[in-house]
């Protein structure tokens, strides 16, 4: 799961780190993730079997501080890792753990239940938050990629219709459509009959493509009816295409991940910025791997950067197309070696569940959610 990388250089572009510097840095980050407290040389020599004297460890810690990997918050305290230290830890040092069997069993139990798609996403987020002890975020599929259950056009005024799109997860999309001239009820009924025939099991995008192809083949009265149906459908989906919805579960778990009230407040505020969450999760859709985005350091003043870090993976029914993403968010100090396999397993399970809802001829290849390594990116990449 962890890809080989070239020898890491210093945070400011210096010479490659030595093996003992990497070992010490690994120990510092690991200890800091576990305790959240500054790490001193005595702790490292006692608990991490570095085979170095305390004086040697102190020298390495000093070198890493000069390279920009560590900070000493107080003169008498130990050191804490910086954002570049976490980035290097994720890129080249961490050892991803195997998911505990009890967590695997809980995930299997969830996906063995018969749940509506919208409820399954909600429950996936809830379980991911419960297992990780962090807020979970789930980016729902775009409306045009979800199957249509029902599509109706209701006359509200002589030259106005209300489109009602009921999707397979039970959600409803409405839009008013202005017409150049009224449509009589007979025409509208024929459009409904046509759409009933072509929408079953298809997404909005697929229905639109099918109607365009059918219209090209029909030059008679049916062609005119298909053209009218295509126009109404195109008008109906103008607003819903491109919309994204993100589900957030377990917000209050952030309260257990910080002793600084102001820091926790900033994390909670960032969690309410749905546009930023959607933007981050959207960036996972082009990959088939777990991705890690690091938030800004506490106290950083760069505008536009979120303090939240994200571990996320795409999900989809296969065929190489991701329809959404899920993951965990929190402070930079998170248990990445445990979160990566957890998020990966959840994405795989959700993808398998979606594949099982497809007819056999529509099932694709491994696609999103397949085990294919980790893509680690900083928050600003």
Q: What is the pLDDT of residue 354?
A: 77
Residues of the chain with CATH 3.30.450.40: 101-141+244-378
Q: What is the pLDDT of residue 2?
A: 34
Distance CA 173, CA 146 (A): 12
Give yes or no for residue 6 having a pLDDT over 50.
no
Residues 6+ apart with CB under 8 A from 291: 283, 284, 310, 311, 312, 313, 374, 375, 376, 377
Mean pLDDT of 95-108: 95
Q: Are 208 and 230 in contact (CB under 8 A)?
A: yes
- 101-141+244-378 to CATH, choices 3.10.530.10, 3.40.50.170, 3.30.9.10, 3.30.450.40: 3.30.450.40
Q: What is the pLDDT of residue 228?
A: 78
User: Residue 85 has which token pair?
Assistant: 């230290």
**Termini Cα distance of the chain:** 21
Residues of the chain with CATH 1.10.10.10: 19-93
Residues of the chain with CATH 3.30.390.60: 144-237
Q: Are 21 and 64 in contact (CB under 8 A)?
A: yes
Q: What is the pLDDT of residue 102?
A: 96
Question: Phi/psi at 81 (nearest 5 deg)?
Answer: -75, 145
Distance CA 81, CA 72 (A): 9
Distance CA 217, CA 210 (A): 11
Model confidence at 359, in pLDDT bands (50, 70, 90)? very low
The CATH architecture one would assign to domain 19-93 is: Orthogonal Bundle (1.10)
Give yes or no for residue 279 having a pLDDT over 50.
yes
pLDDT, tens digit, for every residue of 158-201? 888 888 888 776 677 788 888 888 888 888 888 888 888 888 77
Mean pLDDT of 198-217: 77
Buried b (16+ CB within 10 A) or exposed e, 43-54: bbbeebebebee
Distance CA 341, CA 331 (A): 18
Model confidence at 59, in pLDDT bands (50, 70, 90)? very high
Other C-beta atoms lying within 10 Å of the C-beta of residue 278: 18
Sign of CA dihedral 34, 35, 39, 40: negative
How far is C-alpha 31 from the chain's CA centre? 27
DSSP letters for 193-224: HHHHHHHTT-BHHHHHHHHHHHHHH--SHHHH
Give the range among 133-137, 192-196, 329-333 with minimum mean pLDDT.
192-196
Dihedral (Cα; 3, 26, 296, 313), 10-degree rounding = 30
Q: Are 254 and 157 in contact (CB under 8 A)?
A: no
For residue 175, the cross-strand partners are 163
Distance CA 225, CA 79 (A): 72
Give yes or no for residue 19 having a pLDDT over 80.
yes
Q: What is the pLDDT of residue 360?
A: 47
Mean pLDDT of 250-277: 85
For residue 318, the cross-strand partners are 321
Query: Greater confidence, 289 or 145?
Result: 289
Residue the block writes with tokens 């607003």: 239
Q: Does 3.30.390.60 match the CATH number of domain 144-237? A: yes
Residues 6+ apart with CB under 8 A from 221: none
Q: What is the pLDDT of residue 295?
A: 86
Give the range among 64-68, 85-89, 209-213 with minimum mean pLDDT.
209-213
Give yes or no for residue 305 having a pLDDT over 80.
no
How would you classify the pairing of strands 290-294 and 374-378? Answer: parallel
- Assign residue 319 a region (left: φ > 0; alpha: ψ between -120 and 50; beta: otherwise): left
Q: What is the pLDDT of residue 200?
A: 75
Q: DSSP label at 140?
A: P
Question: Phi/psi at 288 (nearest 5 deg)?
Answer: -105, 10
Model confidence at 310, in pLDDT bands (50, 70, 90)? very high
Q: What is the pLDDT of residue 225?
A: 72
pLDDT, tens digit, for every residue of 347-358? 999 988 877 755
Give yes or no for residue 381 having a pLDDT over 50.
no
């Amino acid at each position: 799961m962890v890809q080989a990388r070239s020898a890491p250089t210093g945070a400011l572009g210096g010479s490659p780190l030595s093996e003992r510097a990497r070992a010490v840095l690994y120990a510092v980050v690991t200890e800091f993730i576990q305790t959240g407290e500054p790490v001193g040389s005595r702790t490292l020599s006692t608990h991490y079997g570095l085979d170095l004297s305390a004086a040697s460890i102190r020298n390495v810690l000093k070198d890493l501080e000069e390279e920009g990997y560590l900070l000493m918050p107080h003169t008498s305290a130990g050191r804490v890792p910086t954002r570049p230290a976490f980035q290097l830890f994720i890129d080249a040092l961490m050892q991803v753990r195997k998911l505990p069997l009890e967590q695997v069993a809980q995930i299997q139990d969830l996906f063995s239940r018969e749940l509506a798609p919208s409820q399954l996403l909600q429950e996936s987020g809830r379980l991911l938050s419960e297992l990780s002890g962090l807020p979970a975020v789930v980016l729902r599929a775009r409306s045009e990629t979800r199957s249509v259950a029902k599509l109706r056009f209701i006359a509200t005024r002589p030259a106005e219709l209300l489109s009602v799109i009921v999707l397979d997860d039970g959600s409803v999309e409405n839009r008013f459509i202005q017409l150049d001239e009224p449509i009589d009820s007979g025409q509208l009924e024929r459009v409904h009959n046509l759409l009933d025939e072509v929408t079953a099991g298809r997404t909005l995008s697929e229905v639109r493509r099918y109607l365009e192809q059918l219209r090209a083949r029909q030059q008679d009265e049916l062609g005119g009816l298909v053209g009218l149906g295509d126009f109404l459908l195109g008008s109906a989906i103008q607003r819903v295409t491109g919309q994204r919805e993100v589900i957030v579960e377990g917000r209050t778990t952030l309260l257990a991940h910080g002793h600084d009230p102001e820091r926790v407040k900033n994390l909670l505020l960032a969690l309410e910025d749905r546009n930023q969450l959607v933007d981050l999760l959207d960036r996972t859709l082009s990959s088939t791997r777990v991705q890690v985005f690091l938030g800004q350091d506490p106290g950083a003043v760069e505008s536009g950067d979120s303090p939240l870090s994200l571990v996320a993976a795409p999900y989809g029914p296969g065929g190489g197309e991701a329809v959404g993403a899920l993951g965990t968010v929190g402070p930079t100090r998170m248990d990445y070696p445990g979160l990566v396999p957890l998020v990966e397993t959840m994405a795989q399970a959700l993808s398998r569940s979606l594949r099982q809802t497809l007819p056999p001829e529509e099932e694709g290849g491994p696609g999103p959610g397949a085990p294919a390594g980790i893509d680690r990116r900083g928050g600003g990449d």
